[in-house]
Structure 1
């Protein structure tokens, strides 16, 4: 095998590290802003809680790597050489785009950037393949692109923006309606129940959703899935009782709720950004391993369709890079 492919794998690894730095720089404000802005705790404590969330999110995110492997295109129709060129283009375009947005102070999404870079690169390589083969035309372009999956992901991204705005508006309106007038008396009587709802929601998304993949197949997840309503009710009751006791001990339970939310956001952020920046390099490395074993650089990359767990050491290393970047 030509040494150029080994060089490409090394470049992908370097770009993955650079991408993690850029990604954390771009998105850290999303999960640190509330805690730091409200001064819920000293900055070092906030960063420590966020770091724990990042590490846990990083090591439990391997189930989402399939987006980079076969989410946007059908790898069984692309050769090893074409896939490596595709992944290299994706990483360069992704990092340059995000760095420009950071430099200009413009908001952007690392997920949107990755999805459209993958989609654009896949279309470009597909058009090149079609142009070099007189037996096929642009009408066959849909065979190379997973258009249903791509449109589904794009629709989900747009829907998430609408849902975030709508839910945030409703929750804030209800909160202000309940606690704006006679705040101290009402919050002392009902604050534990309200914060209990917040904590129960955080636990649901962090544990039942964020950590569902690594816990899949266990009796705990099976029981919770079958009795989700009861599980949420018990979680809310337990959180409310604990917060009520802490409130009676003159502990500010709002700060606890904010810090718990920071942890959950950091956990979700780590899993998301890890896929955005090391998903493509890991897919490239897996492709390299397949081609190295067969000795054929023109082999079709059908193996990328198979679900393969990510290397645990790589996930931990990536999580540590994200923590250092904070």
Structure 2
């Protein structure tokens, strides 16, 4: 018992903090090394001249943007419904008229009625806060209000529970190991920007290091007892790798923003992770099955503005565009505008599905009666 409760607990905590801190220190260390190494190489080649200061200004500006946005992704966090006291009220109420339209993490498919503290949901949960939340998740042709039995909080649309962080996050995109945190509503803009900044910074480092390497060989400096700097070689190789890897991920993230997808929603649509998708399809005049479309896709311009802001300054610089001061704010991550035509198709399909289920149930009852 002493070993399990003492040493094991300490080792487990140490491993946890190592996994949390190592990616962060590694990423920040790579940025700091790249900045220091490149500035040193530039000064060695140009000295205190105008070209050196111009390149220093450009490289250092991109470096500071990378550093600031990386820290802000972690500092701001994804945002959680637990941040709003109105969404985590839990009181006894034996007459909850919404008990049939609630989903829990424990069993979202059949509407489980047990929470984390083993009290029936009908006796434990307050009414869904409809004055704060608008649900576009349907069951039995009616909105479903989701409750997280682990966090004991009402979950807005697009909110998910992270098994790694053990917490619900607003418009959760994914859990990123390089930040050791989740990407969600509050820090999504900073995440996209840091990918773009790192791509730009890596491109600049790669271009400058390539140029310096070219000068070394073109001027035949190796014949003048001048050694090739290993820092310069490593800068070129690593920056080229970052341009390819982070650049592809940045492009994919921009695409997701333009389509107003989260990574979870994208995977759900492409690989059918959800089991019940009957209301997400329609048939054309030739009887061919096709998807209704993405519920939150409002067009590329509006999708971009919803996450990145409305002005050029907000797009280029890490300026916050969210307002989490109140549960009534329009940009707090609790409610999202939907494509009304797509939503109406969802509702229509759900109604048809319910009618079909009722007819099948009636048919089965008649068969059993015979």
TM-score by length of 2: 0.27
Larger radius of gyration: 2
Structure 1 or 2: more helix by fraction: 1
TM-score by length of 1: 0.29
Structure 1 or 2: more strand by fraction: 2
